[in-house]
Structure formats: C-alpha cells, structure tokens
A = this chain, B = another copy of it.
Amino acid sequence: MSKQIAVTDLSVRCSPLVRQPLTSHDARDLALVFKALADPVRLQLFSLIASHVDGEACVCDISPAVDVSQPTISHHLKVLRDAGLLVSERRGTWVYYRVVPVALQALADSLVPESSGAPS
C-alpha cells in the first residue's frame, strides 16, 4: 500500500510556514516530505531522474551513478514515491520514474511567502 501522503494536499491546506504557526498535524505531514529528501542518496536519485532527458528515467539508467546496492536504490525510490515526489510506470521489463512538478512547487511554496505566478 504505502502511505501516499501527497505533498500537493499540503500546499492546498497550509500557507508558508513563515506566515502562521503550523498545526502539529500539518507539521507531521510536512516533515514526512522533508524526510524523503533528507538523504544524500535519495537527493542524488531524485536529481538524476529530474534532470534526465524527457524528465524520466528507468532504474537501470540511474543505478550506475550511485554506489549502493540495487535493493537499496529500490527502497529509496519507494520512499520518494510514497512522499508524492515521484511516480513510477512499468513499461515492459523496465520501470520508469518521473518527478511530480507540482509537488516540488508546493514544497517550495511552503517555504517562501508566495514567489511568482503559477507556472503555466
């Protein structure tokens, strides 16, 4: 099952955390998203996928770039997916991962008090 806390829901619910104090409930949810990014290997995996051509990559594309075992990579990808930062899709033998742009934007918006207009 996984948790699927969905960072996008957070952005709908709470203003930037500099605006008003977070409720303990919102703090718990938001912490889950930050926790997903709070690991060097996960940040590298995420960055590799995000910067890959067409904005997606299969596990075999990015595995060589990090020096942990393949099960560990799979675990980290699952954490990022559960946080709503990535989505995955199976195509034949391979599984492709793609970033969720709105999730990233929502997280950024939770930090700074509204920066620009909506991105397209």
Contact = CB atoms under 8 A, between A and B. Distances in A.
Interface string A76-113: 00000000000000000000000100001101110110
Nearest to A66: B24
B34 A18 contact: no
A119 B31 CA distance: 26
A17 interface: yes
A76 to B, nearest CB: 12
Contacts of A59: none
Given A19-B51, A108-B111, A116-B116, A24 B44 contact: yes
Nearest to A112: B108
Top 3 A-B pairs, shortest CB-CB distance: A18-B50, A35-B38, A116-B116
